[in-house]
Amino acid sequence: MGNRPEFLEAAWGAQRSGLYWTPVNWHLTAEEASYVVADCGARALFAAAETAELAAAVVRHCPEVESAFTVGGVRDGLADYARALDGVSVEPAPEEVEGSYFFYSAGTTGRPKGIKPGALVLHPAVADVAVVGVPDAELGQSVLAVVQPAPGEAAGPELAEALIAHCRASLAGFKCPRAVEFVPELPRLPTGKLLRRRLREQYEGTVPGPGTSRETPRW
């Protein structure tokens, strides 16, 4: 799906429903896109007219996808997005649960690698965490975990190694962050929304060490 309001509706709807959501690069081949959709465990797929052909191919290759929708036109195998919203309440759910993104980075095996941040959120030494892509000489881009340590936890290489080991205990190694950077706090609005743009700007063009710290974040 291109840059259109419906992308934000789908992503934000998943985010506010306690679900994982995964953006799929429209430059991928049908085989590559199908791999991402199957690997992340997607049950619903959203596309638009410009990506409908790719989405239809993905649906044919991924029987686990239970629902598929398209914006700006109807195509075999894809339901009309606007009609699917008919009768749906616009009121917020009574008990919202925050979900998260599950994005994919480049990989050395020729297949994208999925990065799910939830493993770190559950660690008792972590008060808050976000993951961002940073430059990588080998992969082009790799994943950096930006961690706000829990009170009483000492930030540094030892804790970074423990957090990465914790991820590897529940995720495949290629799905784990390759480095951890510690900050006193993450940039969030009073509502709790993470200002991911500020994080991306902060680390754009930098290659942090495996367990570095920032005493004063620049956001």
Whichever domain contains 199, its CATH number is: 3.30.300.30
Shared domain for 115 and 190, answered yes or no, is yes
- What is the structure's pLDDT at 215? 46
Distance of CA 4 to the CA centre of its chain: 19
Total-model pTM: 0.57
Residue at 194 is within a domain: yes
Question: Within this chain, do residues 71 and 110 fall inside the same structural domain, yes or no?
Answer: no
- Chain-centroid distance of CA 30 in Å reads 20
- Per-residue pLDDT tens for 126-170? 998 888 877 777 766 677 889 999 999 999 999 999 999 988 887
The pLDDT value recorded for residue 48 is 93
176 assigned to some structural domain = yes
Q: Which of 84, 114, 138 is the last residue of a domain?
A: 84
Residue 149 burial (10 A CB sphere; 0-12, 13-18, 19+): buried
Which is more confident, 189 or 183? 183
Residue 94 lies in a domain: no
Q: Are residues 80 and 134 in the same domain?
A: no
Query: What length is written for the chain?
Result: 219
Q: Is the predicted pLDDT of residue 207 greater than 60, yes or no?
A: no
Look at 18 and 51; give whichever has higher pLDDT: 51
For range 114-120, the mean pLDDT: 67
Question: What pLDDT, on a 0 to 100 scale, did the predictor assign at position 76?
Answer: 84
pLDDT at 107 over 90: no
Cβ-proximal residues to 71 (8 Å cutoff; 6+ apart), any chain:
1, 4, 6, 46, 47, 48, 49, 81, 82
Please check whether residue 67 is in contact with residue 45, taking contact to mean a CB–CB distance below 8 angstroms.
Answer: yes
By residue range, what is the domain housing residue 16? Answer: 5-84
Look at residue 205 and tell me if it is in a domain.
Answer: yes
Residues 108 and 71 in one domain: no
68 near 44, Cβ under 8 Å? Answer: yes
**Which phi-psi region, left, alpha or beta, contains residue 77 (left: φ > 0; alpha: ψ -120 to 50)?**
left
pLDDT of residue 34 exceeding 90, the answer is yes
- Residue 106 binned pLDDT confidence (cut-offs 50, 70, 90): low
Q: Choose between 177 and 133: higher pLDDT.
A: 177
* C-alpha neighbours within 13 Å on the C-beta side of residue 84: 17
Mean pLDDT value across residues 91-119:
69
Taking the CB of residue 172, how many other CB atoms lie within 10 A of it?
11
C-alpha–C-alpha distance, residues 140 and 158, integer Å = 26
The total domain count for the chain is 2
80 in the same domain as 115: no
Q: Are residues 72 and 107 in the same domain?
A: no
Cα-trace Rg, the chain = 19
**31 against 106, higher pLDDT:** 31
